[in-house]
Structure 1
Amino acid sequence: MSEIVVSKFGGTSVADFDAMNRSADIVLSDANVRLVVLSASAGITNLLVALAEGLEPGEPIRKTRRYPQHPVCHSGTSALPERYP
């Protein structure tokens, strides 16, 4: 029976496209990887905590509020290379 590998990536491992590409290469290079877990990109958890701490108890998040944009979060979309179906 072959070994089953669970790979978890987060933080700087998924901080930008190049880092995500390296993580994908790790997964693709090991046929035993059967489950991939992704958590927040670098800085996203801190951004969410800052957002939550800036609210009064029960205050809803309003669409008009401005927050710093994280480099990984953007309005455009990018197509992944064909090797990532």
Structure 2
Amino acid sequence: PPGPGTYTLPRLVGPNTVYTTASPCHSMVGKRKRGGFAEDLARTPGPAAFPKVEVDTYKTRAPCYSMASKAGAGGDRTIKPGPADY
């Protein structure tokens, strides 16, 4: 018997498959203008190329943190049945 790797399987994907033949076709994806593998990364903008956004632009003040306990939410204080009451 032949060894592993000696068999050749027919093509299943592409213009010429087992059952059909086709004329030349176009690729599924187009060429990317920016971010392709062949692009020179030295010419792409880095983090320093973008302006610094001031914190006060979106928030008027920094968040305040404290170690105090949270205030109670209040809400409904009526007595409700527990799990054993059912």
Normalized per residue, which structure has more helix? 1
Q: TM-score, normalised by structure 2?
A: 0.21
Normalized per residue, which structure has more strand? 1
Q: TM-score, normalised by structure 1?
A: 0.21
In our comparison, the structure showing a higher alpha carbon Rg is: 2
